[in-house]
Amino acid sequence: MADDAVPADGKLSESTNEPPEPIDTAKGSSEMSHTPTEVTSAAAAEPKTASADGETVDAGDADKLAEDEKEADKGAEEDAPRAKPSRSPARLALVLGLIIAVALAVLVGWLGYPAYQSHQAQEQRRLFVQVGRQVALDLTTISYTEAEADVQRILDVSTGSFYGDFQKRSQPFIDIVKRAQSKSVGTITEAGLESEDGNTAQVLVAVLVRTSVAGTEEPRPRGWRMRIVVEKVGDGAKASNVEFVP
């Protein structure tokens, strides 16, 4: 057994007789101590950024988040309605001018309406007096040679009860004028509006009438006064009643 343990040359191996090389614990501990510190320093050297929710992220991630936030802000600005451009002074002046023009038109219309009403009332009174004068003139200007035309002229300016009564008596009146060969000519001396009520008015008319019978003229003209009731009919007016007054 002992022979098996001894090599053939009778010498023991140096490796078996030499003690193991001692480990430099100082060097090892130094390497061990420096390695974690360097890792920690390298980790600390890499910049960290706090995110909005309080978590810590790397610088690359922070840049990406910042870019995402910029894109989101840009999209929000594009989606938001654009502010209307301020109106130019010329446009504002034009708008102001139009407003003033409309206001003036309304004011002129408001002030002019009473004047218009007054003008219309005056025109209506003038129409009433004119029709009263015409009716009085037609009633007093009749010739036996034109009796039918003269009577028709009176009917044309008549209405209401006066028209009905005169139409019934028109033919007998024509016959009397023709038999007597009567001719009368009226001259209006005065006419005026006595009263007015809406579309109806009373007109007083003074007239001088010259009459001739069978070629014999009366020595002097006769003066008559008439009260003629005039009513508005459409755009004109007609007589609805005629009476003689002292």
Give the residue ranges of DSSP H helices in the chain.
2-5, 14-17, 25-45, 59-79, 89-140, 147-156, 160-180
| Closest of 35, 39, 57 to residue 48, by C-alpha | 57
* Winning range, highest mean pLDDT, from 46-60, 159-173, 205-219: 159-173
User: Of residues 107 and 60, which shows the higher confidence score?
Assistant: 107
Average pLDDT, whole number, for the chain? 75
Give the Cα separation of 127 and 91 in Å (integer).
Answer: 51
Contact call for residues 172 and 205 (beta carbons, < 8 A): no
Three-state DSSP state, 166: helix
Contacts of 198 by beta carbon, 8 Å cutoff, 6+ apart: none
The per-residue DSSP string of 170-209 comes to: HHHHHHHHHHHTEEEEEEEEEEEEEEEETTEEEEEEEEEE
Q: Which pLDDT value is given to residue 243?
A: 94
Reading the block at residue 91, the tokens are: 């446009």
Pairing status of strand 142-143 against strand 216-217: unpaired
Position 124: which residue type?
Q
Q: Which pLDDT value is given to residue 49?
A: 47
Reading the block at residue 239, the tokens are: 């007589």
Domain 128-244 has CATH 3.90.420.10: no
Span 138-171, pLDDT tens digits: 999 999 999 999 999 999 999 999 999 999 999 9
The residue extents of the domains of the chain are 128-244
Confidence of residue 59 (pLDDT cuts 50, 70, 90): low
Among all chains, which residue has been given the structure tokens 């508005």?
232
Q: What average pLDDT does the segment 63-79 reach?
A: 60
Contacts of 241 by beta carbon, 8 Å cutoff, 6+ apart: 160, 161, 162, 228, 229
Q: 17 pLDDT exceeds 70?
A: no
Phi, psi of 219 (to 5 degrees): -65, -30
Q: What average pLDDT does the segment 53-70 reach?
A: 58
Contact call for residues 150 and 183 (beta carbons, < 8 A): no
What's the whole-model pTM score?
Answer: 0.55
Q: 15 pLDDT exceeds 80?
A: no
Contact call for residues 242 and 213 (beta carbons, < 8 A): no
